[in-house]
Amino acid sequence: MAKQRVVALEEHFWIPAMRDRFQGYHRGGAHQPSQKLEDLGALRLKDMDAAGIDVQVLSHNQPGAQVFDPETAVTLARAANDRLDEACRAHPTRFAGFAALPTPDPRAAADELERTVTRFGFKGAMVNGLTNGAFLDEKRFWPIFERAEALDVPIYLHPAIPHPAVIDTYFKDYKHGNYPILMGAVWGFTVETATAALRLLLSGVFDAYPRLKIILGHMGETIPFSLWRLEWTVNHLTGRSGFAQCFRDHFWITTSGNFSQPALLCSMMELGAERILFSVDYPFNSNEAGVEFVNRAPISAGDRERIFHVNATSLLKL
């Protein structure tokens, strides 16, 4: 029996020049595997081989360039993308890239997306959380979406540390050391990223750019589990129908860091297997655990193949 091809989409690295400028909670909690984030060679490939992962689509770790002033963001995003291009050229059959975008300067971000796609062959971009407190549905950011549609590449909406006011109001009371337990991957990441996606759905951006493609990690940041209620409530509040279908038409989701069989089956029922992409969230989660999760899922061989590589190959033109 031939080996199953496996493509993983949310697999992170960082460059010290950007990492060392992060302040406060952005410097990370108790779990920041620095050596693996910095490695774009032997160590990473060894971990991939041990789990049977053929390709990683690499992206800069959160919060990326989103938290800097425009000039700094442009400089650091370009540096991260140049470093990622080096890694992809060194291992062209094993690595692909999602660009880091300097969203504090939206026009420059659109240009950087085009530079990395046309010159480096990157497969899209990843945006980490809020841009200095702002959601991407603000129209000043729409040039990024316009360029993504023109280039026919997706934008991956990835979490980052929530807005300081949200941390202070919702999360500060329960801490592990100095780190609010609910702030990050436990809950805050999901709440803010799901909110970002829902705001896009209400903003009209998909009417303006009807071929725009968005990816969400962590099994859709809970949206597939709430899609019926979201549709029903939006319809009753506004008279507007089609909210759920707009999500199904424009979003793909990944398995990154959410290896739950009920969550996978729910997502397949709501979206279809063709909208689900394999991811690990390396190095924060285990490659082996991610692959085993899909291999053990009570799904057909065809759906397993779609999730492991067919959907990614189609969406990203691998």
Give all strands (DSSP E) within 108-237, no chain letters: 125-128, 155-158, 175-176, 179-180, 214-216
The DSSP bridge pattern shows strands 55-60 and 95-97 to be parallel
Q: How far is CA 249 from CA 31, 173, 207, 252, 273, in A?
A: 35, 39, 12, 9, 13
Rg of the chain (C-alpha set): 18
Sign of CA dihedral 145, 55, 5, 119: positive
**Nearest of 156, 160, 213, 215 to residue 191 by alpha carbon:** 160
Q: How far apart are CA 185 and CA 161, in angstroms?
A: 9
Query: DSSP 3-state assignment of 33?
Result: coil
> Any idea which residues carry the catalytic annotation?
281
Look up tokens 């085993």; give the residue. Answer: 292
